[in-house]
Amino acid sequence: MREMLDVLGVNIDMVTLEQAEQKIWAFLKGEKLRMVFTPNSEMIMLARKDGALKQVLNGGDLVIAEGIGVVYASGILGKPLAERVAGFDTAKRMITKLPEKGYTLFLLGGAPGVAETAKENLEKQYPGIRIAGTQDGYFDEQKEQQIIADVNRIKPDILFVCLGMSKQEKWIYNNRDKLNVKVCMGIGGSLDVFAGKARRAPDFYCKYGLEWFYRLMKEPWRYKRMMALPKFALTVIWEKIKGD
């Protein structure tokens, strides 16, 4: 039985990072495709307006609290999550153990060259890891069919899909019956980090829940998108007051 938390209509699994990782290893032993989504407060706000996105997220087999905002919201809602479970951290934990577990991985997304560089870096860092294929994230519909055929020929166990928020979740959901893989994870800009093109916020920022602040300093043009964060907090409080 999954223990879920409803955050503005999006159901989040109440799991720790360790439990999320264990669930994914269990998925890999199963027969059917499982979808792992990693919503943050921005995505949850988007899902309030975009019913299709909400449906996609709620169709996930594991939906983890990507952002610290979601963790704070859980406290406001009276069902505190133990910790933030970022998609990047979950992916990293899995990658660390992939050489020993032997599962194969396919990297999809990012600008041309990014997935290949990520593959090279990961192969250097984790000798024995089996990265069975890569594909950039800029393709048209025709190419998309070819990508799906390629993935199915290669049959990787895990597919990391990094096409940006909302696009990657919908892509996974819409192709779930066509893809011959065990686990599909939407993990945003993670390939850029593995490729060394972007940096994860230093530990200090992550530890104190200030990753958003680091990102704002590095990418100030994102401030409009980031306004979703305070709006999210106020909406959660408002919905809570209305519901009580």
- Residues found near ligand UDP in the complex (CB under 6 A): 109-111, 137-138, 162-165, 167, 188-189, 191-192
Secondary structure letter of residue 13 according to DSSP:
E
Nearer to ligand UDP, 141 or 244 (CB): 141
Nearer to ligand UDP, 60 or 189 (CB): 189
Judged by DSSP in three states, 169 sits in helix
Shortest distance in whole angstroms from residue 160 CB to ligand UDP: 11
Shortest distance in whole angstroms from residue 3 CB to ligand UDP: 26
Between CA 229 and CA 29 the distance in angstroms is: 37
Nearer to ligand UDP, 103 or 160 (CB): 160
C-beta nearest to ligand UDP: residue = 137
Judged by DSSP in three states, 185 sits in strand
Nearer to ligand UDP, 44 or 163 (CB): 163
Shortest distance in whole angstroms from residue 114 CB to ligand UDP: 6
Shortest distance in whole angstroms from residue 79 CB to ligand UDP: 26
Count how many Cα atoms sit within 13 Å of the Cα of residue 208 in the half-sphere of its side chain.
Answer: 6
Nearer to ligand UDP, 221 or 244 (CB): 221
Shortest distance in whole angstroms from residue 42 CB to ligand UDP: 7
Contact between residue 241 and residue 13 where contact means Cβ atoms under 8 Å apart: no
The separation between CA 24 and the C-alpha centre of its own chain, rounded to angstroms, equals 13
Q: Exposed/middle/buried for 87, CB within 10 Å: 0-12, 13-18, 19+? A: buried
One-letter amino acid for residue 202 of the chain = P
Nearer to ligand UDP, 112 or 202 (CB): 112
* Tokens 């870096």, located at residue: 121
Shortest distance in whole angstroms from residue 170 CB to ligand UDP: 11
| Cα-Cα-Cα-Cα dihedral sign, residues 132, 137, 138, 142 | positive
Count of helices and strands (H, E) across the chain: 13, 8
Shortest distance in whole angstroms from residue 242 CB to ligand UDP: 29
Between CA 197 and CA 240 the distance in angstroms is: 40
Secondary structure letter of residue 144 according to DSSP:
H
Nearer to ligand UDP, 15 or 162 (CB): 162
